Amino acid sequence: MIKRVDLSKLARKQLKKMPRHIVENLAAWIDDVETRGLEEVRKIPGYHDEPLHGDRRGQRSIRLSRAYRAIYVTKRDGTLEFVSVEEVSNHAY
């Protein structure tokens, strides 16, 4: 069961520029993972945890808001590492 989350150097740098509510949402998700485990947190629909495709195959993302998502990978030692926290451009729905 995965219960450890690491932030990459890039993710830490990006978080310094993010709105406060985005940082708080990510902190809440990390706390949930470290408390309940990744498998249980993936079941929570509000995070929209989903696998990515194409160039990001093997990575997963969670939604921090309608405009932001965090991208992570599961490492071989059983920990999670956030690769980046990105702003998602507005799509035409």
Domains along the chain?
5-86 (3.30.2310.20)
Does pLDDT of 91 surpass 50? Answer: no
CA angle 66, 1, 50 (to 5 degrees): 25
Cα–chain center distance at 69: 6
Distance between CA atoms of 57 and 52, rounded to whole angstroms? 5
Give the lowest-confidence range in 9-13, 18-22, 23-27, 48-52.
Answer: 9-13
Tens-place pLDDT, residues 43-58: 999 999 999 999 888 8
Does pLDDT of 83 surpass 80? Answer: no
Partners of residue 62 on adjacent β-strands: 70
15 pLDDT band, cuts 50/70/90, is confident
pTM: 0.83
